[in-house]
Amino acid sequence: MRYFFIVYILLIVVVISVAGFRGSHSRRPPLEVFPDMDRQPKLHPQSENSFFANGLSSRKPISGTIARGRNFEVNPETTGMEYGSYLENIPVKVTGELMERGRQRYEIYCSPCHSSVGDGKGITTQYGMMPSSNFHDAKNFFEMTDGQLFKTIEVGSKSGVMSGYASDIPVQDRWAIVAYIRALQLSRLGTPEDVPGEMQSQFSN
Ligand code: HEC
């Protein structure tokens, strides 16, 4: 029992002398428990290095390297924003070709959840997923500008329930989808008067 007390007290002394003085200043070199963690054989960025002919530790990317992430110019067309606010209108020219591309991309990427008509009751609702946003709702039509729709495709919905499609849908295609969503929305708001005169005869009530 006596030995136990001696060992116990010694242990306390050892623990306090090693751990108890952490953070206090000393002129002596610190105790390095894992010296290879403190001193790693690595090169600091932009330091000198005799291994390479030009003496630099930092290497240039090899030619043909393609940057990941932000390898695009930052302007209203690529961000959907200008002076910190969302663009009101699509900044690219809306052509028949763009609309067709938008329809196709929409069918691939958006219709499984938002449905082909955009009412949010896509096929995923049959598999237990909650309905997605209805593009015919005021919230997603009157209040969301073209830039906001663009941003949603890039980064996902505000609450984060829908994730972003930045890696799958390039900038041009995002605008194409925005244009197509506007067409879907108009399809429910349009009146017979919106149809060009020469085509009105094709409609009968
Ligand atoms: C996997 C299902 C899914 C897919 C695919 C999907 N969405 Fe969504 N989306 C949702 C859900 C769920 C919500 C509602 C999220 C919420 O309330 O935060 C939503 C919300 C939105 C909103 C409203 C955003 C907001 O912040 O309120 C927009 C706009 C939208 N989606 C556009 C799109 C477009 C465009 C595509 C195709 C590129 C797309 N979504 C693809 C599930 C999806």
Tell me what pLDDT residue 11 has.
Answer: 94
- If one compares 112 and 18, the residue with the highest pLDDT of the two is 112
**Residue whose pair of structure tokens reads 């890696």 in the numeric block:** 167
* Cβ atoms within 10 Å of 56's Cβ, excluding its own: 15
Q: What is the CATH classification number for the domain harbouring 138?
A: 1.10.760.10
- If one compares 114 and 140, the residue with the highest pLDDT of the two is 114
Atom of ligand 1 nearest to the CA of 131: 12
Question: Domain limits at 121?
Answer: 76-189
pLDDT at 69 over 90: no
The preferred substitution site among 157, 172, 177 for testing ligand 1, maximizing ligand atoms within 8 Å of CB, is 157
- Examine residue 110 and state whether it is found in any structural domain, yes or no: yes
Of the candidates 173, 195, 191, 196, the one whose C-alpha atom is nearest the C-alpha of residue 103 is 173
- Examine residue 135 and state whether it is found in any structural domain, yes or no: yes
- Examine residue 70 and state whether it is found in any structural domain, yes or no: no
* Domains in the chain, number: 1
- Examine residue 145 and state whether it is found in any structural domain, yes or no: yes
- Examine residue 164 and state whether it is found in any structural domain, yes or no: yes
User: Tell me: the pLDDT tens digits for 43-54?
Assistant: 888 889 888 899
User: Tell me: the pLDDT tens digits for 89-106?
Assistant: 999 999 999 999 999 999
Q: Helix (H, G, I), strand (E, B), or coil: what is residue 81? A: strand
